[in-house]
Amino acid sequence: MWLKLSTLALLPVLFVQGTKVRKNTPRLLEASGEREGMVGKGRPLSLLILGDSAAAGVGVETQQDALSGAIISELQDQYLISWKLHAKTGDTTKQVFQALQYLEPQNYDVVVTSIGVNEVTKLTSANSWIKQQKRLFEYIQARFQPKLIIVSGVPPMQHFPALPNPLAWLFGKYAEQMNQVLYK
């Protein structure tokens, strides 16, 4: 309840700061490189990575330096990995859910999700976000039948250098609440 009250009290400042941040912060490109493939040696492992800009590799040059590259690098000596990255800058949980409707249904051993920053910037409540996440996980389970779903937490947005206070503080609190409900 205190987060809602804080948001309302700070709304005029948040509007001004948010407008300046959107205007002055450069838009970074998604990482270049392959978004699916087969790599490694060992036991077969199929991997699907879903998400927003963090999963898409915004902030690094190539997918090898992004989330998919880090995961593959860790696993490729033990597994023959058949992998696919489906991520887009700006996507929310709802948009990832909608995009999944167009992916071919197939079985994946592991699905990794990285979603939440865009819900924070839209001031989505943690309870609303977790309902969307649960719906997404149920759909992933039914459509792709993974043995494991790995969910990354929302990053600590209070430390994003482009965000001034109190905007950074408030986004950090939203991210904290989302991570708390996610871990339950």
The rounded distance, in Å, linking the Cα atoms of 157 and 178 is 12
| pLDDT one-digit tens code per residue, 32-67 | 899 999 999 999 999 999 999 999 999 889 899 999
1 has a pLDDT exceeding 70 = no
pLDDT at residue 18 tops 90: no
CA atoms of 151 and 120, how far apart (whole Å)? 16
Q: Per the structure block, which two tokens stand in for 83?
A: 């992998």
Beta strands 43-51; 36-40: pairing state? unpaired
Closest alpha carbon to 39 in 87, 71, 65, 86:
71
Task: Judge whether residue 3 has pLDDT over 90.
Answer: no
Which residues share a beta bridge with 108?
A: none
Cα end-to-end span (Å), the chain: 19
Tokens of 31: 């990482």
Instruction: Work out the percent of the chain whose per-residue pLDDT is above 90.
Output: 71
- 25: tokens are 């912060």
Please check whether residue 161 is in contact with residue 123, taking contact to mean a CB–CB distance below 8 angstroms.
no
Nearest to 77 by CA among 50, 47, 107, 42: 42
CA-CA-CA-CA dihedral for 35, 24, 126, 130, to nearest 10: -20
User: Residues 6 or more apart from 117 whose CB is under 8 A from it?
Assistant: 52, 53, 54, 154, 155, 157, 175
Q: What is the DSSP letter of 130?
A: H
What domains are there in the chain, each with its CATH number?
34-183 (3.40.50.1110)
Q: What pLDDT score was predicted for residue 153?
A: 92
Q: What is the pLDDT of residues 104-155, one digit of tens each?
A: 889 999 999 999 999 999 999 999 999 999 999 999 999 999 999 999 999 9
CA 167/CA 173 separation, integer angstroms = 10
Residue whose C-alpha is closest to residue 22's, from 74, 90, 84: 90
